[in-house]
Amino acid sequence: MGKPTGFLEFDRREEAYAPIEERLTHYKEFVLTLSDEDAKVQAARCMDCGIPFCSNGCPVNNIIPDWNDLVYRDNWQQALDVLHSTNNFPDVTGRICPAPCEAACTLGINAAPVGIKSIEHAIIDKGWEMGWVKPQVAAAKTGKKVAVVGSGPAGLAAAQQLARVGHAVTVFEKSSRIGGLLGFGIPDFKLDKAVIDRRVAQLQAEGVVFRTRVIVGDGKLPAGINNDATETVAAGQLQQEFDAVILAAGSEVPRDLPVPGRNLKGVHFALEFLIPQNKEVQQGIKNPINVKGKHVVVIGGGDTGSDCVGTSYRHGAASVTQFELMPAPPEQEDKALTWPYWPLKMRTSSSHKEGDTRREFSVATKEFIGDAQGRVKALKAVRVEWKDGKMQEVPGSGFELPCDFAFLAMGFVNPVGSLLDAFGVEKDARNNVKASTDGEACYQTSVPGIYAAGDVRRGQSLVVWAIREGRQCAKAVDEFLMGSSVLPR
């Protein structure tokens, strides 16, 4: 906790944003880290609640009251040690995690919760600034070799944990840079790629080997998935050369929208827009999609859709409309009903506020309409209502909307099937890798020595869940290789 009476004395202090007119001119981060003093005041609000529900609300079980107290007492370096004890990449979660910990904060029952995410952000940024974040090289090598397929947060967390206990870890990534969707997918204005690069450098100093542009399996990918690979490695080769393999390739197959006109030019999966934009910002490779002066419709109301909105405004789109199939959530959650769980309520992102975003709920897209050149020029949609859990169209509610570009941001359905088939692992009913998270041989697939963690196992989820699973999977692999493990659960 912080100051015993702090929650009565101080109001929540939010991180500031750069002005909209300024941030629309670039792709750099625009969230301003709390000053030391503001972070200390915010940490002082952490109350002596008895049971820290925030720690349970956090998937990696961050020891939040402890580092709040340390920040309040100006002991930043120890706060960083406590933060790193449960979270390999707080510089990522402090930027892009939706903060389920804050939804579980006891103070949030009848007041604004402690700004946990902003304090986390402040701690790790100070850690890098002061040079406190250093490689942790294993004192001795075990002689065991582990392959990690995929370099997203699950794969990186697993790789770092295993390297720190002396295993030789090689990470295979089909893209041209490390990070999974952290590197290619999430816009630079939300997550500066220097944040990823400095962590990659840390992992390399700890002994992790990265092999980019390498695809594992038969190399066959469904539409809408980025692939920079110039080399293919067979699953069997990894099984022969390594003592264990971790599948951490994410859930990459995007949900499609099979309606008339889907194949018109200008209708794209969201990542077909976002990934090339990352490459343009980072590598100078021009994005083939430019929506300047165009009418954009984003289909899907989640984070990926919001990223399309913010990127469209930076292009200079004439208009941006976002569709969501589900009804509009309430402006304010029912705390008595939902606390300490993640509440259903209206969430407006910084991207929505960067222009006159038209947000439409309970809308289903029926058809894309093309011009003589085969380009989309409009779409037809209809209002829907939900009765007894079933969707029904509202009679006479159809409408047409100008549309030069449509981005499908409706989530991801499952991992790449050919990768899982290459290793012969059993799948669950949703075509994810089947593996348990508790008990003996947790995270191990149906094939001995082959493990799975993150979205490839649990399905599309949050970065913080991926970090948790990567850490826990690493412990399971270490136990498999050595008979026991000193890694934390």
pLDDT in the model for residue 3: 86
Spatial distance between the Cα atoms of 476 and 164, rounded to a whole number of angstroms: 14
Spatial distance between the Cα atoms of 457 and 415, rounded to a whole number of angstroms: 8
pLDDT in the model for residue 354: 98
Specify the DSSP class assigned to residue 15. Answer: P
pLDDT in the model for residue 19: 98
Residue 363 dihedral angles phi and psi, to the nearest 5°:
-130, 135
Residue 264 dihedral angles phi and psi, to the nearest 5°:
-65, 150
Mean pLDDT of 308-324: 98
Spatial distance between the Cα atoms of 381 and 384, rounded to a whole number of angstroms: 10
User: Are 164 and 138 in contact, with CB atoms under 8 Å apart?
Assistant: yes
Model confidence at 52, pLDDT cuts 50, 70, 90, reads very high
- Is the model's pLDDT at 412 over the cut of 90? yes
The DSSP H or E segment spanning 148 is: strand 145-149
pLDDT in the model for residue 27: 97
Mean pLDDT of 292-315: 97
Residue 385 corresponds to which tokens in the numbers above? Answer: 């209502």
Which structural domains are found in the chain, ordered by start? 6-130 (1.10.1060.10), 145-253+413-482 (3.50.50.60), 256-410 (3.50.50.60)
Model confidence at 223, pLDDT cuts 50, 70, 90, reads confident
Model confidence at 247, pLDDT cuts 50, 70, 90, reads very high
- Give the pLDDT confidence of 327-342 residue by residue, as tens digits: 999 999 999 899 999 9
Say what angle helices 153-164 and 463-482 make with each other, to 10 degrees. 40
Question: Which residue, 478, 313, 128, 334, is CA-closest to 470?
Answer: 478
Q: What percent of the chain has pLDDT over 70?
A: 100
- Give the pLDDT confidence of 130-172 residue by residue, as tens digits: 999 999 999 999 999 999 999 999 999 999 999 999 999 999 9
> Who's near 470: CB < 8 A, 6+ residues apart?
88, 153, 154, 155, 156, 157, 158, 159, 161, 248, 453, 454
> Who's near 284: CB < 8 A, 6+ residues apart?
none
pLDDT in the model for residue 2: 78
- Give the pLDDT confidence of 87-139 residue by residue, as tens digits: 999 999 999 999 999 999 999 999 999 999 999 999 999 999 999 999 999 99
- Is the model's pLDDT at 441 over the cut of 80? yes
pLDDT in the model for residue 330: 95
Task: Compute CA 96 distance to the chain's CA centroid, rounded to the nearest angstrom.
Answer: 7
Indicate the average pLDDT of the chain.
96
Model confidence at 489, pLDDT cuts 50, 70, 90, reads confident
pLDDT in the model for residue 232: 97
Strand partners, 13: none
Model confidence at 373, pLDDT cuts 50, 70, 90, reads very high
- Give the pLDDT confidence of 33-43 residue by residue, as tens digits: 999 999 999 99
Residue 378 dihedral angles phi and psi, to the nearest 5°:
-165, 170
Local structure of 449: helix, strand or coil? coil
Model pTM? 0.96
Local structure of 134: helix, strand or coil? coil
Local structure of 337: helix, strand or coil? helix
- Is the model's pLDDT at 1 over the cut of 80? no
